[in-house]
Structure 1
Amino acid sequence: MTLQLFWFVLIGVLFTGYFVLEGFDFGVGMLMPILGRGSDRRRRVVLNTIGPVWDGNEVWLITAGGAMFAAFPEWYASLFSGFYLALLLLLVALILRICAIEYRAKINDPKWRAWCDVGIGIGSWIPALAWGWVFANIVRGVPLNEKKQIVGSVWDLLSPYALLGGLATGVLFALHGAIFLVLKTGGEVRDDAQRAARLLLIPTVLIVGGFGLWTQLAYGTWWTWIALGAAVLGLVVAAGSTAVSRDGWAFLGTTLTVAAATALLVGSLYPNVLPSTIDPAFDLTIDNASSTPYTLKVMSWAAVLATPVVLLYQGWTYWVFRQRLTVDQIPAPTGLPLSKNT
């Protein structure tokens, strides 16, 4: 049970890292058409803030999925089969986003870059909304039968609570991205990002606060009140720091909110990993969904040895690319011209 709890917590930590880091990536992509309007150089400033780190941030999702597969194979199998269409859509959106970011500068043509910007926007909005919807359904429970299969249709997953969860992650990631841009840019882009952050604050407080309170009252336990309180505190810090232009503290505030909201959702699950709305006897728990003790033991040693190295490397990457970006630093576009022979 100790190893099972360790891996349940570790998977929660991995998803927390993914949402904190990839959350502002999504937010940057969501806001790119607004903050980069009228100028390709402005859009490149926005995109370049995540250019050195966005692909490394996505590794957290791969690691979390791999850990789920190895530590709780029953959870992985039931979840990925039951949410197949939703996760397929999410995967396609992520692939579209990756291709758009990687190939945007390969061809020097305004129309090409415009279509790539559309791909970045779609590939950011869909995951930002979908992840909240998926996790809200996991916490709420799904129609899981005695064969550990999710039955019913996608309409069973479109409850008001789940839809509010999707909206909550959408606005929270947008705010997280706006404050990240305030921290990472200068000049006119920073000014516009700060205005966007201030406009997003009230809707985010209302939607995320409402979703968090609903989660706590319906599914939480006594200690998840701490997570809810931390999420609210993060939003208060973000709002106050944004008002007085304390950019670092504002970003720490939204980081705390994203991390605490994830802890609230994961903590509300325990000891389940996938509750059943058909019969509590069909619930998947950390006990009946886990791998063998030997498998968990070997994985634990690997995690203990590898995780600090990965964290140090990623932290060093952020330190190296910590400078602010401005429009003046963006050179003329490069890439092959788009022609009939291209």
Structure 2
Amino acid sequence: MDLNILWFWIVGFLFIGYFVLDGFDFGVGIALPFIGKDDTDRRILINTIGPIWDLNETWVIVAGACLFAAYPEWYGTIFAGAYLALFVILLALIVRGVSFEYRHQGKGEQWTRWFDWMIFWGSAIPALLWGAAFANIVRGMPMEQMTAGGIDTTGELLFNFNYTGTFFDLLNPYALLGGLTTLALFFYHGLVFITRKTDGELRDRARQAATYVGLAVAVLAIAFLGWTVVAYYSVPTLIFALLAVVAFVGSWLVNLKGMDGWAFGLAVVTVIGAVAALYSTLFFSHGGEHLLMKNLTEGGLDMTIYNGAASDKTLGIMSWAFLVIMPFVLAYQAWSFWVFSKRLRRVDFERKVDAVEVEHEPATA
């Protein structure tokens, strides 16, 4: 098997897993100020992802590490071109994680509300910027290349690539539309996750909000995926885009009927289809060159899965490590979801508050 092709799809699998898992985490954080009417509601919302959010977030670390090891030129060029956006994503993720831990440490409504808004922005900003970043990868970036010496597996010279554009080159209409699409999609993904994890009025508010947010997702997704299919057409891209659209329509309809598990499951398929449509565009379109990134510089060399990859020996070692470790990761992820699958009820949180107040009530004569 061609290891370069294998690792292209392994990296894609890891990023798809990250967007599926951390996507609903982002959605819950975005929903916090909109459907959390009081502190108890917001505590319930945070606890829907409390046991699993950090495990979900580790997928981006693994994906980034594999990207660095398998395709160092791709990794370096992306970070050189989008370093400010990626730095903001990293900062937002740190702020969100800190807020989860410190929200309950202080006293007073102002303290908790301050951290609630930090959770919101720490979720909304990455949801927006990840979509813009992947859209720019599909669209391509201006690069220059220099001969690095050595020969790749196809017998061609190896090159080093350097980003030559500016930050504002990344703020193109296609990328901005991609960012708005992922922002709305992750918001919807989080809302249907909330309906799966809560009950009572909070569950009803989440379902109603998902109905309205779903309309925005439909408009944005059709526009963005339609643009992608037309501009970068390939049969797999079209199939994955249609899968995302059909799954989303199904999720929206069963959400109206209160079928929470089906709504969330189809939302997962929607995210998988949408990200796979973008990712497969690199491999199957652009003349079938199996690109990592198209060079927008006139006459410039495109970065492919061969001239942007690590050595065959490196890819071989990584393949064995992935084969051994990944089954344990998936098993632990599945076990975590099973253990924490119970719905969260408001009455249980109110009882905890009452117990704390009784415990700290001053003694009277």
The verdict on a shared fold, with TM-score over 0.5 as the criterion, is yes
The RMSD of aligned alpha carbons is 1.5
Partner of 2:25: 25
The one of 167, 170, 179 equivalent to 1:166 is 179
Verify the 8 A CA contact 1:129 1:169 in the aligned structure 2: yes
Verify the 8 A CA contact 1:20 1:259 in the aligned structure 2: yes
Q: Give 1:326 deviation, angstroms.
A: 1.8
Verify the 8 A CA contact 1:97 1:120 in the aligned structure 2: yes
Partner of 2:152: none
| CA deviation vs aligned residue, 1:49-69 (integer Å, no higher than 9, x gap) | 000000000010000000000
Query: 1: CA distance between counterparts of 2:315 and 2:298?
Result: 28
Q: What secondary structure does 1:101 align onto?
A: helix
Amino acid at match of 2:19: F
Task: Tell me if 1:321 matches 2:340.
Answer: yes
Partner of 1:340: none
Partner of 1:130: 129
Aligned positions of 1:296-315 closer than 5 A: 296-315=315-334
Amino acid at match of 2:329: V
Partner of 2:209: 196
Q: Give 1:109 deviation, angstroms.
A: 2.5
Aligned positions of 1:1-342 closer than 5 A: 2-37=2-37, 39-147=38-146, 148-270=161-283, 271-279=290-298, 281-330=300-349, 331-332=352-353
Q: Give 1:280 deviation, angstroms.
A: 5.8
| CA deviation vs aligned residue, 1:19-44 (integer Å, no higher than 9, x gap) | 0010000000001011112x100000
Q: Structure 1 length normalisation: TM-score?
A: 0.95
Q: What secondary structure does 2:110 align onto?
A: helix
Q: Give 1:13 deviation, angstroms.
A: 0.5
Query: 1: CA distance between counterparts of 2:82 and 2:194?
Result: 33
Verify the 8 A CA contact 1:33 1:121 in the aligned structure 2: yes
| CA deviation vs aligned residue, 1:86-132 (integer Å, no higher than 9, x gap) | 11111111111010011111223222111110110110010010000
Query: 2: CA distance between counterparts of 1:237 and 1:252?
Result: 10
Verify the 8 A CA contact 1:189 1:326 in the aligned structure 2: no
Partner of 2:157: none
Query: 2: CA distance between counterparts of 1:282 and 1:242?
Result: 47
| CA deviation vs aligned residue, 1:1-28 (integer Å, no higher than 9, x gap) | 7111111101100000000010000000
Amino acid at match of 1:212: L
Query: 2: CA distance between counterparts of 1:288 and 1:294?
Result: 15
Verify the 8 A CA contact 1:132 1:166 in the aligned structure 2: yes
Verify the 8 A CA contact 2:81 2:165 in the aligned structure 1: no
Verify the 8 A CA contact 2:236 2:277 in the aligned structure 1: no
Q: Which has the larger radius of gyration?
A: 2
Q: Give 1:314 deviation, angstroms.
A: 0.7
Q: Give 1:279 deviation, angstroms.
A: 3.6
Runs of 5+ in structure 1 lacking a partner?
338-342
Higher relative contact order (CA 8 A, sep 6+): 1
| CA deviation vs aligned residue, 1:140-196 (integer Å, no higher than 9, x gap) | 011111241111211111111111000000000000000000111001110100010
Give the 4+ runs in structure 1 shifted more than 4 A.
Answer: none
Q: What secondary structure does 2:292 align onto?
A: strand
Verify the 8 A CA contact 1:90 1:126 in the aligned structure 2: yes
Q: Which stretch of the first structure deviates more once superposed, 21-30 or 273-282?
A: 273-282
Query: 2: CA distance between counterparts of 1:85 and 1:239?
Result: 35
Verify the 8 A CA contact 1:233 1:253 in the aligned structure 2: no
Query: 1: CA distance between counterparts of 2:107 and 2:95?
Result: 19
Verify the 8 A CA contact 1:224 1:268 in the aligned structure 2: yes
Amino acid at match of 1:234: A
Verify the 8 A CA contact 2:131 2:181 in the aligned structure 1: yes
Q: Give 1:281 deviation, angstroms.
A: 4.0
Q: Structure 2 length normalisation: TM-score?
A: 0.89
| CA deviation vs aligned residue, 1:174-233 (integer Å, no higher than 9, x gap) | 000000001110011101000101111111111111101111111131221110111011
Query: 2: CA distance between counterparts of 1:230 and 1:280?
Result: 35
Identity %: 44
Query: 1: CA distance between counterparts of 2:10 and 2:228?
Result: 21
Q: What secondary structure does 1:145 align onto?
A: strand
Verify the 8 A CA contact 1:143 1:278 in the aligned structure 2: yes
Query: 1: CA distance between counterparts of 2:222 and 2:325?
Result: 36
Runs of 5+ in structure 2 lacking a partner?
147-160, 284-289, 361-365
Q: What secondary structure does 1:108 align onto?
A: coil
